[in-house]
């Protein structure tokens, strides 16, 4: 199963870079495993451009910052595309100059693009996504190793399911 892990965000906007930081940690952890069926990358795009990155993959794991009303910074959410379509979007699943990710994926499927059947989203509740800085706030930074392990476990479960 060909898997793409995308850390979303801007690494110089404090907590907005949390998805990228998790992706770096996942990449580093996988480097010793030699898994060639998992690609780890980063992006700061949404909608159509994000959908285009997913073409040709069986599965995608997105990691991003999120801000929900009353959300507790550092809280971890596991979301589906349905959650994103019906609730507050993650920081980069939509763009003001584009369409949101669920709509872009629907369009891509209608055009016959080879898009993943499985898209999993890990969203970390952010405190500050507007201040320039290359480190996350302490409560958000504390979530990075936890989400990294969650992503690695999700990848391991998928691998064990395909080898049965």
Q: What is the CATH architecture assignment of 3-162?
A: 3-Layer(aba) Sandwich (3.40)
Average pLDDT for the chain: 89
Give the span between the Cα atoms of 105 and 57, in whole angstroms. 13
User: How many other CB atoms are there within 10 angstroms of residue 8's CB atom?
Assistant: 27
Rounded to 5 degrees, φ, ψ at 99 are -110, 165
**Is 148's pLDDT higher than 90?**
yes
pLDDT, average across residues 16-31: 96
Q: What is the pTM of this model?
A: 0.89
88 HSE (CA, 13 A, CB side)? 14
pLDDT band at 86 (very low <50, low <70, confident <90, very high): confident
Encode pLDDT of 55-80 as tens digits: 999 999 999 999 999 999 999 999 98
Question: Domain ranges in the chain?
Answer: 3-162
- pLDDT > 90 fraction of the chain, expressed in percent and rounded: 70
Q: Which residue has the higher pLDDT, 145 or 96?
A: 145
Q: Which two tokens stand for residue 13?
A: 């906007």
Separation of alpha carbons 49 and 43, rounded Å? 9
User: What 3-state class would DSSP assign to 141?
Assistant: helix
Answer whether residue 92 shows pLDDT above 60. no
Q: Output 121 or 159, whichever has higher pLDDT.
A: 121
């Amino acid at each position: 199963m060909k898997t793409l892990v995308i850390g979303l965000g801007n690494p110089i906007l404090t907590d907005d870079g949390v998805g990228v930081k998790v992706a770096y940690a996942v990449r580093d952890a996988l480097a010793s495993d030699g898994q060639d069926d998992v690609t780890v990358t980063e992006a700061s795009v949404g909608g159509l451009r994000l959908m285009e990155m997913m073409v040709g993959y069986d599965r995608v794991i997105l990691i991003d910052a999120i801000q929900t009303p009353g959300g507790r910074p550092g809280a971890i959410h596991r979301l589906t595309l349905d959650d994103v379509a019906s609730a507050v979007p993650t920081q980069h699943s939509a763009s003001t100059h584009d369409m949101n990710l669920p709509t872009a994926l629907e369009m891509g499927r209608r055009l016959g693009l080879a898009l993943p059947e499985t898209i999993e989203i890990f969203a970390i509740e952010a405190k500050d996504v507007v201040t320039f800085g290359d480190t996350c706030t302490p409560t958000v930074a504390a979530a990075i190793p936890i989400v990294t392990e969650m992503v690695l476990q999700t990848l391991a479960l998928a691998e064990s399911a395909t080898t049965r």
